Amino acid sequence: MIAKTTVKPTARLVEVFSAIQGEGLNVGTRQIFIRFGLCDLRCHFCDSAHTWDAPSRCKIERSPGLRDFEIHSNPIPLAMLIKWVERQNLPSLHDSISLTGGEPLLHAPFLAQFLPEVRSLTNLPIYLETGGHRPEQLAMLLPYLDTVGMDLKLPSVSGESHWTEHKQFLQLCFDANLEIFVKIIVSQRTDPGELERSALLVSGVSQNIPLFLQPVTPLADSEKFSQVPVLAPSPDQVLEWQALMKRFVKQVRVIPQTHKMLKQL
């Protein structure tokens, strides 16, 4: 008789730390960030290109906010990640757990086991930050998510085009009654026709989904991987685009990356 073996789930992590969320609907709240390795997109403006290939080691903060990192080798067993999150979870400090990356949904089988456990242990809501292009993986995790921040990638700015997947993805979140918002990175190269198409895509699911226009943060030379220039939009451009999108969607807010202003991670 062949013995039944169970595969122990593991994750390829970049870092775990406690910080102030700098983007979107949860801006200003305190979160435990779990940054996963791997991403299958190549956005021109990416400020996390170091996450694309899973690193051999990850940085784990010992005490929330103190940046007293210890280094561990990937892959990381589920039980170990649970232990690190519990260590971060001091009473009343955090508002939620942020799954970020990279693209966290590339870890969907791991998350399907990790999320129910971490949720019941910490009682913290789970917030997913995602490129919004993997509806199949999202469907595996819907019961364990509370909030989803979906990036909608404009081809003129990101170099990526995923209109059909974005639509399916947003509809799945909406049908599951999750708290959702859509984030769109805008630069000087933004095509207003793509903004109108995006607003129609969102309003086709619900006019009440908040939409965030995020002016791109220009990258330092050491962070650049693309030859395409990434320049912040002008004040006039942002005013015009917000007005354009508000014809279709009720809430269109313009918020830059505040964590970079605060010099947060």
User: What is the three-class DSSP state of 137?
Assistant: helix
In the complex, the smallest distance separating the C-beta of residue 152 from ligand SF4, rounded to whole angstroms, is 11
- Per DSSP, 2 falls in state P
Tell which one of 20, 27, 41, 78 touches ligand SF4 (CB under 6 A): 41
Under the binding rule (CB under 6 A), the answer on residue 214 touching ligand SF4 is no
The C-alpha R_g of the chain, in whole angstroms, comes to: 19
Residue 39 engages ligand SF4 in binding (rule: CB under 6 A)? yes
Among 48, 156, 171, 258, binds ligand SF4 (CB under 6 A): 48
* Distance, CA of 222 to CA of 27 (rounded, Å): 27
**Residue from 25, 43, 170, 249 in contact with ligand SF4 (CB under 6 A):** 43
Token readout for 30 is: 């305190």
130 is in an annotated binding site: no
The reply to whether 102 sits near ligand SF4 by the rule CB under 6 A is yes
Between the alpha carbon of residue 154 and those of residues 64, 146, 189, 190, the distances in Å are 35, 26, 10, 8
Segment near ligand SF4 (CB under 6 A), from 24-32, 43-51, 114-122, 215-223? 43-51
Quote the least distance from Cβ 93 to ligand SF4, whole Å. Answer: 27
Answer yes or no whether residue 161 interacts with ligand SF4 by CB under 6 A.
no
Smallest CA-to-CA distance from 72 within 97, 51, 55 is with 55
Q: Looking at 8, 28, 42, 68, which residue binds ligand SF4 (CB under 6 A)?
A: 42
Maximum CA extent, the chain = 72
Q: Does 251 bind ligand SF4 (CB under 6 A)?
A: no
Any contact of residue 103 with ligand SF4 (CB under 6 A)? yes
**Cβ atoms within 10 A of the Cβ of 265, count?**
17
Does residue 57 belong to the site contacting ligand SF4 (CB under 6 A)?
Answer: no
Name the token pair of 64: 């929330």
In the complex, the smallest distance separating the C-beta of residue 5 from ligand SF4, rounded to whole angstroms, is 33
Mapped onto helix, strand or coil, the DSSP state of residue 164 is helix
Contact 211, 252 (CB under 8 A): yes
Annotated binding site for S-adenosyl-L-methionine: 45-47, 102
Annotated binding site for [4Fe-4S] cluster: 39, 43, 46
